[in-house]
Amino acid sequence: MVPHLARNSHLRKPPRVDGLPSGPTVSGLIAGFMLDRLGKIEEVLKAPDGHKSKRRPDITTVAPDRKAHRENVGRVTRRGRPVPREERALDDLEQTLGVRLTFTPYN
């Protein structure tokens, strides 16, 4: 047995970072998208009438024609719909931007 692994460590969930599960699922997928695209920036959008006052799309890229492309990455239900937390984020961002963001599931 590896000394740093606790007994039944395979049953434990990975630690959470900023409210999201860490590990290859979220961070790896986002990092992969960001490496493939140009114009990497973090964007904070105000959503005054939303569920939260500010929202950050997971991925924002700017094309050479100066158009922004935004995506959110998150969990989905068994039926393939974003979980309620993701739906609220997509709704807030749609209300702010006037267009529905692309959503990429990671589970």
* DSSP string covering 69-87: EEEEEE-B-TTSPBPHHHH
Task: Pick out the chain residues at pLDDT < 50.
Answer: 1-9, 38-39
Q: What is the pLDDT of residues 84-93, one digit of tens each?
A: 999 999 999 9
Task: Evaluate whether 72 touches 99 at the Cβ level (below 8 Å).
Answer: no
pLDDT at 100: 92
Condensed to tens digits (0 to 9), the pLDDT of residues 16-27 reads 555 555 555 566
Task: Give residue 1's pLDDT.
Answer: 41
Read off the tokens for 56: 């950050």
Dihedral over Cα of 81, 86, 88, 92: its sign: negative
The pLDDT of residue 5: 45
Average pLDDT, the chain: 76
pLDDT of residue 17: 54
